[in-house]
Structure 1
Amino acid sequence: MLGAMAFTVSLWVFGEAIGIASVVSAMIGLSTLLLLGVVNWDDCLSDKSAWDSLTWFAVLIGMAGQLTNLGVVAWMSDCVAKLLQSLSLTWPASFIILQACYLLIHYLFASQTGHAGALYPPFLAMQIAAGVPGVLAALCLAFNNNLSGALAHYSGGPAALYYGAGYVDLRDMFRVGFVMALVQAIIWGGVGSFWWKFLGLY
């Protein structure tokens, strides 16, 4: 089993260099475990949480991709930029609003990578245009991208697994995720702002 795991992880890490996609690596790993008798097909079928996670991710990642392809993400970014320009806000106010928008827009994404890929550049550009120091804006968007992973049951890989285990119902997942996002934002924004000032980021 350890050999199969090491082989699968090696394929996952180095697969791109040798032309093997990560999905193929996962299938090779599963096939190896099945052939060696470590697991059987009934074990795979009975793992309902895994199938639940797979279903959620398949649908929601597809939806997030379509939102980007259809221009919804670009349209939303453009609307936010125009709104901020019309309000003539100071850079700290623009910074707070844009960071909050970046966090909450994650509800539309089933992947933190997809979220960052679609929204990081326009939100960084909007913040810099509003006068936010570049390093501060770049770092906070990166921090924010990680903090958004607990917003919902589809926000990131671990969230789907926690929800799929069946110990937390959907309403509680959304409620607790939102509360924790607020708590983390207050901690990062409150304590972090003093630390960032000490470091000279603004």
Structure 2
Amino acid sequence: MKDKLWRIGIMAAIVAFMWFGGTPEGLKPQVWKLFGIYLATIVGLVLKPFPVPITVLLGVATSSILLSNTKEVLTGYSNTALWLIFAAFGLSVAFGKTGLGHRIAYYLVRAFGSTTLRLGYVTAFLDMILSPATPSNTARAAGIVYPINLSIAEAVGSYPGESAKKAGAYLLQNGYFATKVTSFFFATAMAPNYLALDFITKLTGVSLNWAQWALAMFVPGFIMLMLVPIIGYMYERPTVKEIDNKKIAEDGLAELGPMKASEKGLIAIALLAITGWILPTFDIKIDATAVAIVAMIATFICGIITWDDLLKTKAAWNTLIWFGGILGLSSALSKGKFFEWLAKYLEAHMNFGLDPFMMLILISIISVAVRYFFASGTAYISAMLPVFLIVGMNAGIDPTLLAFILIGTNSYGGSVTHYGAAPGPIIFSAGYNNVKDWWTVGLMIAVVCLVLNYVIGIPWWKITGFM
């Protein structure tokens, strides 16, 4: 309790300071007080006195009581992006329950996993295949990929301790780094992506549907993904080179048994959902959220998952609560013209004297470096993304270029530490990796991805007509 109290005390002190410390010129007192509650909520996401949903609900409740704006701060729960992500969790649950995710993994292992390095690429491809319909990278990296990598490591005699370097340290670590890259391939590959998109649309006017996001991010992201396994492999240098992939795959597939009707049905539903998300690109009017909800309902009607299965999926309900709350608080701030005021303030007080492109490079480097201080992608996006966007817009950076670069750094920036996203602590706790090696490889990957974001991304965005 004492440990919680000092964390709560810091949050309360932030609110009190904003409440009684005066209001900056050009801003209404109520909006400044609301920002104090929002800031305290974000600090709470970092300090973690409570689980993330409770912390966000505390912010919503505090605002509702002290500012009498209940309706405004609850508007986030009517946001269609929130329900798209929640509905997509139905597909994520189905991949785990049916065993389809594991089956795909063993097929890939059998076809391509004859060496440790190739297994690194199997991990990367598996995560990529699952990412469009799995908005929880924890479910992908920690729920499906991690157990398989762990079993492969043990099969070749690699365990925590002296034998970790045989294969386990590399395979497990690589699973995390792969998901930090695939998480920005698709808007539905990571729940905070739509939170980021909400800020991007509000502050820059750049709006993307599911297919546009995928078109913009997939090619530069895929090239990044192809380098992730080799970077880790060159650093870790696993001593086991050859893998009896045929036996590992056959044992795994034998345990799963013949492909079930539920798996075949899930393949059809997932492909139809992805098709539905792509159709608006061809001027076919179909709502992406409606597609996701229909896909989720289809998994229920076809008996692939049950309502109880979804009820037991904490990630889905946690996302529903924190995402809606953060959207509500940020929407209330936007309505109160807080971000407009912040833009003018930063424009008057932050002038680095750099041309727009050099300013973009500086922002992107800072956006990666600051991830050392965040153990939550949600907290990072909520606290830092609006600032980066506003500073970038004031510096004259092309809005689309600014948005696309930051979409990438939001994701792969989390690779710099073992706590940068939820799958990290789960994988790290297996005991195969040490902090020094993890942080070294993670920084190398983040730097390479940042460079490729420019070298590959900008030409690709010009070719595809985004710029």
TM-score normalised according to structure 1 size: 0.60
User: Is the CA contact 2:376–2:421 (under 8 Å) kept in the aligned structure 1?
Assistant: yes
Does residue 96 (structure 1) correspond to residue 358 (structure 2)? The answer is no
User: Is the CA contact 2:347–2:394 (under 8 Å) kept in the aligned structure 1?
Assistant: no
Q: Which runs of 5+ in 1 are unaligned?
A: 24-79
User: Is the CA contact 1:151–1:177 (under 8 Å) kept in the aligned structure 2?
Assistant: yes
Offset, 1:22: 3.3
User: Is the CA contact 1:12–1:22 (under 8 Å) kept in the aligned structure 2?
Assistant: no
Structure 1, residues 85-144: CA drift from partner, whole Å, max 9, x if none?
1x3111100000001101110111001111001111110000011011112212221211
Aligned-residue sequence identity (percent) comes to 25
Of the three residues 384, 397, 412, the one matched with 1:119 is: 384
User: Is the CA contact 2:418–2:438 (under 8 Å) kept in the aligned structure 1?
Assistant: yes
User: Is the CA contact 2:375–2:419 (under 8 Å) kept in the aligned structure 1?
Assistant: yes
Distance 1:109 1:179, change over 3 A: same
Of the three residues 318, 325, 328, the one matched with 1:22 is: 318
RMSD: 3.4
Offset, 1:200: 4.0
* Equivalent in the alignment of 1:158: 423
* Equivalent in the alignment of 2:462: 197
Offset, 1:196: 2.0
Does residue 137 (structure 1) correspond to residue 402 (structure 2)? The answer is yes
Structure 1, residues 30-52: CA drift from partner, whole Å, max 9, x if none?
xxxxxxxxxxxxxxxxxxxxxxx
TM-score normalised according to structure 2 size: 0.27
* Equivalent in the alignment of 2:237: none
Count the aligned residue pairs: 143
Which runs of structure 2 are paired with 1:1-202 in the superposition (5 Å)? 9-11=309-311, 22=318, 85=351, 87-202=352-467
Structure 1, residues 145-202: CA drift from partner, whole Å, max 9, x if none?
1111211011001222221111111111111111111111112221112112323444
Offset, 1:84: 5.8
Structure number with the bigger relative contact order (C-alpha 8 A, sep ≥ 6) is 2
User: Is the CA contact 2:377–2:420 (under 8 Å) kept in the aligned structure 1?
Assistant: yes
Offset, 1:7: 5.0
Distance 1:82 1:201, change over 3 A: farther
User: Is the CA contact 1:90–1:130 (under 8 Å) kept in the aligned structure 2?
Assistant: yes
Distance 1:14 1:104, change over 3 A: closer
Distance 1:120 1:8, change over 3 A: farther
User: Is the CA contact 1:149–1:159 (under 8 Å) kept in the aligned structure 2?
Assistant: no
User: Is the CA contact 1:124–1:137 (under 8 Å) kept in the aligned structure 2?
Assistant: yes
User: Is the CA contact 1:11–1:22 (under 8 Å) kept in the aligned structure 2?
Assistant: no
Larger Rg: 1 or 2? 2
Structure 1 stretches of 4+ with a deviation exceeding 4 A read 5-9, 12-16, 80-84
